[in-house]
Amino acid sequence: MDVKVYSMRIFLENHWDCSTIHRQNFSQVGVFLFFRPSKLSFVSGFTENPADHYYRVYYLAVYEKWKYEACRDGEQLQNEFINIWRRFAHRYRDICHFGFTFVTTLTHEAGLVIEILDEKLAASLSQMHLDGDLNNTFSIIMGDHGNRIGAVQRRYHGRIEERMPLMAVRFPNGFSEKYPEEYKNFLENKYKLTRFFHSFLLFSILVSFSNFDVHKTLHDIVHMRFGENKGKADEGRGISLFDFIPNTRMCPDVTVAENFCMCMIDVSNVTTPLPRITKKKTADQKKDQFDTLKTWLKTEKLDDCIDVNSLETKSDFKEMAINPYSRFGLRTKKNSTAIEMMKERHKKDAELNYLNFEFTVIGSYKSSDPLSMLVRTELFVEKNTSQLIFEPMIQEMPASCRFVSIFDVCQCLRLRLSS
């Protein structure tokens, strides 16, 4: 790969003269970013150093010298990986810099092992916060995909987890006050489809996003296209997470293949989601899910803000689940035989371990302001237990408390009433 196509390096070094670091602790030939044969990917590996600090030689030496790759000198090798990242962030905290670090060795063959990094990572982030290393920096932690190691990937939730990796972002101090419009768009976009396909970031959690969207977002950061400097977006696919993204965005709009799409489909015609388990009548199911919402509001202590007795459901009530292409883990739609086998399997046993319900609830706040919210609940079919999987999306809120999050709206109302 010509390093010139590694866009962050060319932009940062030529535009702002920034310092850069590129690290991946899986340095064997033929793996990922260092050298991937063209027949397996779009391009081969880097032909020259892509950054000022490039650690391939370091990790090649480490793995050649230490037979047990997980440890060095009695400590987890991953601790040193985090230490290098922390030192780089501290050294350049007041200087323009860009770092890309990719943890692979620890989790590539055993996803749950990542927990051994929890304490070290948490301690490092806390120290960086205290030292001010994050004050002027966009800090991102994300995964290239969710856990797909072992039997979990064949479970219903495993199919979803694999296709929806974490992305968390910490903003520089004061960003929300200086650029309120961009910050507002970013928070609202976490409720929308913002596709992300293959990418590891304290911080504001995004639900579903795109590699193209992330690319556009990074371009905005690099060029400081915020506030008065907001210019025309780059051409091509994707929408910056700082821009408005339509509520109606669907997988085809962002070129997500059906077998990777996590948009729910209507399953009201599926009467038997699991063998020997028949769905309840719609009216009974709707009542159960409405009760789930009211219980959640009381548990979250939001009943001091929302008049629970005033709530009622509207006529809309959707029964949804992931599509069969994703449910049965198709990697490609090119194999017509596999597709036909999947369709026949779906007819015999849909294997819908979970059902999702979406409905609109109207009523009022304790302040007498009208309330409307979109609610999504989830039913664990086997146990017949329901829960809210995400806070309701506020559709109508008081004029003086215009937030999408129900927690933000209620906090605003409490402050208004106490003043």
- Is 126's pLDDT higher than 90? yes
Enumerate the H helices of 6-52 as residue ranges.
Answer: 7-11
Whether residues 209 and 296 share a domain: the answer is no
Q: Which residues contact 202 (CB under 8 A, 6 or more apart)?
A: 125, 134, 139, 141, 168, 170
Task: Look at 37-41, 85-89, 320-324, 407-411 and tell me which has the smallest mean pLDDT.
Answer: 37-41
Flag whether pLDDT at 303 surpasses 70.
yes
Q: Is the pLDDT of residue 41 over 90?
A: no
Please tell me whether residues 327 and 388 are part of one structural domain: yes
Segment 3-11 mean pLDDT: 53
Largest separation between any pair of C-alpha atoms in the chain: 70
The dihedral through the CA atoms of 43, 48, 52, 56 has a sign that is positive
DSSP at 339: H
CB atoms within 10 A of CB 245: 23
Q: Are residues 16 and 100 in the same domain?
A: yes
Q: Which among 331, 329, 321 is positioned nearest to 274, based on CA atoms?
A: 321
Give the end of a domain, one of 257, 280, 315: 257
- Calculate what percentage of the chain has a pLDDT beyond 90: 36
Q: What confidence score (pLDDT) does residue 30 get?
A: 47
Give the count of domains, the chain. Answer: 2
Residue pair 165/196 in contact by the 8 Å Cβ criterion: yes
pLDDT at 411: 94
pLDDT band at 39 (very low <50, low <70, confident <90, very high): low
> Does residue 223 sit in the same domain as residue 285?
no
> Do residue 324 and residue 380 come from a single domain?
yes
Q: Which residues contact 303 (CB under 8 A, 6 or more apart)?
A: 297
Structure-model confidence comparison of residues 262 and 106, the more confident one: 262
CA dihedral sign, ordered 277, 278, 282, 284: negative
Same domain for 205 and 294, yes or no, is: no
Q: Are residues 55 and 73 in the same domain?
A: yes
CA atoms within 13 A on the CB side of 161: 15
From 37-46, 89-98, 117-126, the region with the lowest mean pLDDT: 37-46
Count of positions (residues) in the chain: 419
pLDDT at 194: 58
70 and 204 belong to one structural domain:
yes
| Pick from 61-70, 246-255, 272-281: least confident | 61-70
Domain that holds residue 330: 265-418
Which one of 230, 257, 284 terminates a domain?
A: 257
